[in-house]
Structure 1
């Protein structure tokens, strides 16, 4: 019987795992997020692995630790979480009327008590394409005033009030929310782990 640890404090990731029926506990990583990776795909994978490895020391045997990181990229420019109204406005102006990418990296560390089975390290990323409708300045200001942009990569949450400004998407919707649960399920099944039946 495996115990699952989510190495993330994201309420959106928590909700997605709960919706899937996965039982887990949360242990957040307090490690500073730093990476030398240069591409968005490698950056999210590296940061997800850092989060998972940071809580590995607290894990018992027969434990699955899941780390994840999401970022937004447009024209090869990475957008993190805005730290001010000005930064949020700059991001939303850059995104409106264009297509951008949302990357989520996932790292899974499997610690096993059966010494015949080696511990596993599984890492992958998912990308989704998002088109944002052209926005008037008043619309951008009104969205920033909701307070939603400040804990979200790219300065918006597709599952929130920003939904009215999304023209279309290609790819996994839940990846844009912050966690590609379908890909996690598939990748782990290929490794012989059914996360729904631990």
Structure 2
């Protein structure tokens, strides 16, 4: 969607995620959505580096279309040991993810990138998530719900998936995919008022 010259919003959110829209709106930030159109691939191997790299790729893709605007992008990577769990392809893979996560700890890395005329910044939040042991019936029920199909790791902590989790160590909104402590810090660094503060 083209922006009217000299009237772009304070922020362009380079994501179509409704969860990220809700979280950014909760900060009192004026923004429009301009989802990044790119194939998500990174040459990085560590999940934190992958999350940072993909957030930067999304940010740069949108910033190239709207020079001078403040652009924010985010990407989330779920890692169980050395294995990265992306979005499951179907309910069967979703169930497989849940069986692997059951009773174990995993890490969620959410990268945030912000660019403006002042340059660009990127940071990554890390949250340790522990699943409670799940019964076969719980795995089947949640996988059948479809909630996890569009989420890294195959579950949503902000929805039905909250019942899968025993505890977390770190930032809750990082697991949702938009760590607000990082978002606030980077937006303020680029001159965006949060909650009315200049």
Equivalents in 2 of 1:4, 1:128: separation in Å? 26
Please give the secondary structure, in 1, of the residue aligned with 2:70.
strand
Quote the residue 1:160 is aligned against.
Answer: 159
Per the TM alignment, residue 194 of structure 1 is displaced from its structure 2 partner at its CA by 4.2
The verdict on how the C-alpha distance between 1:5 and 1:194 changes in structure 2, with shifts beyond 3 A counting, is: closer
Moved >4 Å (runs of 4+): none
Equivalents in 2 of 1:147, 1:126: separation in Å? 26
Equivalents in 2 of 1:22, 1:3: separation in Å? 7
Quote the residue 2:136 is aligned against.
Answer: 137
Quote the residue 1:114 is aligned against.
Answer: none
- Gap runs ≥5 in structure 1: 112-118
Q: Deviations over 1:153-184 (max 9, x none)?
A: 00000011111121000110011111011222
- Gap runs ≥5 in structure 2: 1-6
What is the aligned residue count?
Answer: 189
Aligned-CA RMSD value: 1.6
Equivalents in 1 of 2:192, 2:15: separation in Å? 21
The verdict on how the C-alpha distance between 1:26 and 1:187 changes in structure 2, with shifts beyond 3 A counting, is: closer
Quote the residue 1:109 is aligned against.
Answer: 115
Equivalents in 1 of 2:45, 2:73: separation in Å? 20
Q: Give the 5 Å matches for 1:1-198.
A: 3-61=10-68, 63-111=69-117, 119-189=118-188, 191=189, 193-196=191-194, 197=196
Per the TM alignment, residue 186 of structure 1 is displaced from its structure 2 partner at its CA by 2.4
Equivalents in 1 of 2:152, 2:55: separation in Å? 14
Per the TM alignment, residue 58 of structure 1 is displaced from its structure 2 partner at its CA by 2.3
Q: Deviations over 1:49-89 (max 9, x none)?
A: 1111111122143x210011001101121110001122111
Please give the secondary structure, in 1, of the residue aligned with 2:50.
helix
TM-score with structure 1 length normalisation? Answer: 0.90
The verdict on how the C-alpha distance between 1:29 and 1:194 changes in structure 2, with shifts beyond 3 A counting, is: closer
